[in-house]
Amino acid sequence: MRYDLLKDLTKQCPVCAETIKVDAIKCRYCGQLFELSEVEEEKKKIIAKIINSKKVILVKANKYIKKAWIVGVIWGICTIIMSLICGYFGLEKYGISYYNIIDSILILVFTYGIYRKSRFFSVALLIYLFYNNIIYQIIQGKFTIFHLVWATILGYFFVIGIIGTFNFNKLQQYFGESETKD
Ligand SMILES: [Zn+2]
């Protein structure tokens, strides 16, 4: 599959400096002939270069995904703890109660989706964060600067998580399943 990419790849003719196809054994501008073995050699180098640059993106994508799911787990666990504390001590007036355990379950499910490199869940978690910490709080009249700070910090990690899952899935089509494993 990766060889299909070569179809459209070009290089510069070393004689006339015109742009020609990587596969060409004769320059269509100046007529310079190239050794088939040289062409093959050059082709291999170009493929290696492309694969390397894609692998760099892949490694980065995996790092982004990892950061996002770690932050998701922290958020989920914090929500459970806060729900239990506020529920137990009857601190519902702060906007958190036992019901928020449902939130934490959702957060952890979405986070598991990111862990599995799902684009859908990475977007879903960011939307959920935005809804939960901004929209819902404004509707309830409980929006504070704390919500904004919290949403911004977590939002940063979930945005890079989205970049990670999208890049990962794009590269998975390129490399195939086996090579994209961590
Ligand atoms: Zn030429």
Least confident of 81-85, 113-117, 178-182: 178-182
pLDDT confidence of residue 9: 83
pTM over 0.75: yes
The residue type found at 178 is: S
Is residue 79 a part of any domain in this protein?
A: yes
- The answer as to whether 2 is a domain residue is no
Q: How far is the CA of 5 from the centre of ligand 1 (A)?
A: 22
Q: Identify the domain containing residue 63 by its residue range.
A: 57-177
Per-residue pLDDT averaged across 5-33, rounded? 89
Number of H helices, E strands in the chain: 5, 2
The verdict on residue 10 lying in a domain is: no
Q: How far is the CA of 87 from the centre of ligand 1 (A)?
A: 77
Asked whether 9 and 24 are in contact (CB, 8 A), the reply is no
* Residue 74: per-residue pLDDT: 97
Residue 177 pLDDT > 80, yes or no?
A: no
- DSSP run (H or E) holding 6: none
Please state the domain count of the chain.
1
Mean pLDDT of the chain: 89
In a domain, 32, yes or no: no
Residue 14 within any structural domain of the chain: no
Q: Which residue has the tokens 């989205």?
A: 162
Distance 44 CA to ligand 1 centre (A): 21
Are the C-beta atoms of 40 and 51 separated by less than 8 Å? no
